[in-house]
Amino acid sequence: MDVEAWQIVGFTAWVSVLSVIAILPLGLGVAWLLARRIWPGKTVVETFITLPLVMPPVATGLILLEILGRHGWIGGALHRHFDLDIAFTWRAVLVALGVMSFPLLVRSTRVAFEEVDPRLEQIARTLGAGEMRVFCTITLPLALRGIIGGMMLAFARSLGEFGATVMVAGFMPKTMTISRAIYQAVQLEQDALAYRFLAVSVVLAFGAVWCSEWLLRGRRH
């Protein structure tokens, strides 16, 4: 594989890592609220979060494009006021990856939080700890393995993301990711290149999912 191909691999890995980091704070927050609190509209939010998992990715991509394109309400405002483009730049890829793997992160993290014995959190409160301290010193450390497992899963999903990314970033060379590169190579009958990309993406995804499984399984002693 030539330099350009390795650049695509590098870009894909980098933007996938960045997307997981970007959704982590919101993902943790939402997962905690779903795990530990009951509130009106909870079911609606749960369903809404699961949507990117069950909708056709192209449909999700279309919605993102309508919001982030220069005519969209976020994309338009950013373009007019800050001369900033999102669609068809690496930022759109980041958003698409983040949106598509958000449900996976929330699901895994929620389970991780639910598996922390609430009794421990309660006793921590009787010992004088405020909610933030309880979260940071008790909930988070005990849920950490599950959270990291969820992050690896989200990373693997980001690596393979295709449908939504096609809509918001097309096939422009500077934002090319592995999955779209494979698609394009197949379209142009460059099968050898397609298989090489495929091999790299399989290795990356395999590694991420394997780590995720090992971490998630290891929690159940």
Partner 1 sequence: MKLLLQKIVLPLSHFTLEVNVEIAGRVVALCGPSGAGKTSLLDLLAGLRRATSAFIQLDEQVLTDTARGISVPARHRGIGYVPQDLALFPHLSVRQNLLYGQKHGKACDGLFSMEHITQVLEIEPLIARGVRQLSGGEKQRVALARALIATPRLLLLDEPLASLDGGLKARILPYLARVRDEFRLPMLYVTHNPKEISALCDALLEMDRGRIVGGG
Partner 2 sequence: MKIHQKKRLQPALATAGMIAGVFAAHASDVTVFAAASLTDSLKRIAGDYEKQTGNKVLLNFGASSTLARQIEEGAPADLFFSADEARMNELENRGLLVDGTRETCLSNSLVVVVAADSALNIHSAKDLTNVGVQHVALADPKAVPAGVYSREYLEKTGLWQKLEPKVVPAENVRAALAAVESGNVEAGMVYKTDAAISKKVKVACEIPPSEGPPISYPMAVLKESEHMDDAKAFKKFLEGPQAAQVFERYGFVVRR
Distance CA 113, CA 115 (A): 5
Q: Does 187 bind partner 1 (CB under 8 A)?
A: no
Q: Does 115 bind partner 2 (CB under 8 A)?
A: no
The nearer residue to partner 2, 68 or 151, going by C-beta atoms, is 68
At residue 221, the 3 state secondary structure works out as: coil
User: Mind giving me the DSSP string for 143-185?
Assistant: HHHHHHHHHHHHHHHHHH--HHHHHHHTT-GGG--HHHHHHHH
Is the CB of residue 143 less than 8 Å from the CB of residue 116? yes
137 binds, among partner 1, partner 2, none (CB under 5 to 8 A by kind): partner 1
Distance CA 33, CA 46 (A): 11
Is the CB of residue 93 less than 8 Å from the CB of residue 171? no
The nearer residue to partner 2, 80 or 217, going by C-beta atoms, is 80
The nearer residue to partner 2, 118 or 173, going by C-beta atoms, is 173
The b/e string for 174-202 (b: 16+ C-beta within 10 A; e otherwise) is ebbbbbbbbebbeeeeeeebbebbbebbe
The nearer residue to partner 1, 86 or 138, going by C-beta atoms, is 138
Q: Does 85 bind partner 2 (CB under 8 A)?
A: yes
Q: Does 69 bind partner 2 (CB under 8 A)?
A: yes
Window contacting partner 1 (CB under 8 A); options: 30-38, 133-141, 146-154, 176-184:
133-141
Q: Does 125 bind partner 1 (CB under 8 A)?
A: yes
Q: Which residues bind partner 1 (CB under 8 A)?
A: 117, 119-120, 122-130, 137-138, 141-142
Q: Which residues bind partner 2 (CB under 8 A)?
A: 62, 65-66, 69-72, 75-76, 79, 85, 87-88, 166-167, 170-174, 184, 186-189
